[in-house]
Amino acid sequence: MKRLFTMLAALSLVLVLPGCKKSEEKSEAARAPTAKKLKIGISIPAADHGWAAGVGWWAKKKMAEYPDVEWVLATANEPGKQTSDIEDMMAQQVDGLVVLATESAPITPVAEKAKARGIFIVNVDRGFLKPVADVFLEGDNKAFGRKSAEFIVQKLGGKGNVVILRGIPSTVDTDRYEAAMEVFKQNPGIQVLAAQPGMWNQQKALEVMQSYLSQFQKIDAVWASDDDMALGAEKAIKEAGRQNEMWLFGGGGMKDIVKRVMDKDPLYPADITYPPAMIAASIDLAVANLRDGNEKAIADKLPAHLRIDKSQLQEKRAAGQTQRLLKLDVHLITPENAREFYFPDSVY
């Protein structure tokens, strides 16, 4: 009897599990495939901070625009999971892959494997260590660092104390930081008091900012290099009651920050774009290349902050061509132009 109970329980447990997935699956199956559909896999990091959440939101929005493509979307919280995700997509015989790597080095081997199998790869934002993608679309992090630092220098009148919050160690962070430091060094009136990693994370940024506030008597500006971190640092500043002494520069174009720039909040005089919507442009690029090879047709559809210089695009992809690098320009957001970069529906 006990055994029978055990067996029944085992059966019901394993039957219930796949069962609850079924309802989700049905809506997908409703658009039943007729001919051989184009199949594209999208592998992105799980939404552990605002920007990554924005990536997921834009990816889903863009996928819905192509109902005739069969999409396979997976989010990963660490490189091991992402490698598995991409392998599962290869087993599902995808024609193309859009990959935003959780980390550069560990995802490179699996990307190489996909490339060897003839899968078209669009790599977004965080690059592989080898040029294995067909297209690599990245935000211009050097311009991000340079333009934001130039704004800080100008706003401070070439004189003042700045503290820096850095991101997760990666090429994205290095490019931003080094370009900014170059600008600061050219202006001897600017004193960079400290630069420590806040890991693009609000909580961590708050802790780092707290220690800055207790260390330094006078801070004029915070270069947070990311809007999430700016929000964390802002909390620390307000808790210390020093919000009249300094202002912040984040980066990324988070809608809340853009709104505050638009409303002329003294804490946020400006911001800089680094749109998570670049995933949407990448998806467009993947579809265009796999369908008819005409990239230029999609370039006109893109909104202003996603515009890719047309000279970088081409009508047809040449066979056997190596990775092409496309840079997405970054734009300074000021109260005057903020409306252009404000997307109230977006999660970021």
Partner 1 sequence: MSDTNDTGALVQGQARPTPREWMATLPSWWVPAVALLVLIVGTILIEWSTKGSSTFISPENLLNILRQWSFVGIIAVGMTFVIILGGIDLSVGSLVAFLGGLGILLMNHLMGQGWGELSAASVAFVVMISLGAVAGVLNGTLITRGKLAPFIATLGGLAAYRSLALALADGGEFRSASAEWFKALGTGGLAIPGTNIAPRAPEPIPLLFPWPVVIFFVLAASAWVLLNLTRYGRYVIAIGSNERAAVYSAIPVNRVKLLTYSLLGLCVGISGALLSSRMNSVSSSGTGLLYELDVIAAVVIGGTRMRGGAGTIAGTVIGVLILGVVGNMLNLLQVSVYLQGLVKGVIIIGAVLLQRAERL
Distance CA 210, CA 214 (A): 6
Burial (CB < 10 A; 0-12, 13-18, 19+), residue 55, is buried
Q: Which is nearer to partner 1, 141 or 273 (CB)?
A: 141
Print the binding letters for residues 199-228 with partner 1: x by CB under 8 A, - otherwise.
x-----------------------------
Residue by residue, what is the 3-state secondary structure of 17-47?
A: HHHHHHHHHHHHHHCCCCCCCEEEEEEEECC
Print the binding letters for residues 18-47 with partner 1: x by CB under 8 A, - otherwise.
x--xx-xxx-xx---x------------x-
Name the residue among 253, 270, 267, 245 with its Cα closest to residue 148: 270
Q: Which is nearer to partner 1, 232 or 253 (CB)?
A: 232
Q: Which is nearer to partner 1, 72 or 193 (CB)?
A: 72
Selected binder of partner 1 within 65, 67, 105, 292 (CB under 8 A): 105
168 contributes a contact to partner 1 by CB under 8 A: yes
Evaluate the CA torsion angle 221, 225, 230, 236 in order and state its sign. Answer: negative
Distance CA 91, CA 303 (A): 35
119 contributes a contact to partner 1 by CB under 8 A: yes
For the CB of residue 252, give the shortest distance to partner 1 in the complex, in Å: 21
| Region of 1-9, 156-164, 182-190, 298-306 interacting with partner 1 (CB under 8 A) | 1-9
> In the block, which residue shows the tokens 């909040």?
265
CA distances from 258 to 47, 78, 109, 199, 309 (A): 20, 30, 38, 21, 24
| Region of 82-90, 208-216, 231-239, 258-266 interacting with partner 1 (CB under 8 A) | 82-90
With H, G, I as helix, E, B as strand and everything else as coil, classify residue 144.
Answer: helix
| Region of 67-75, 210-218, 257-265, 266-274 interacting with partner 1 (CB under 8 A) | 67-75
Q: Which amino acid is at 292?
A: D
Which residues of the shown chain bind partner 1 in the complex (CB under 8 A)? 1-3, 5-7, 9-11, 13-15, 17-18, 21-22, 24-26, 28-29, 33, 46, 72-81, 83-85, 87-88, 90-93, 95, 102-106, 108-109, 113, 116-119, 129, 168-170, 197, 199
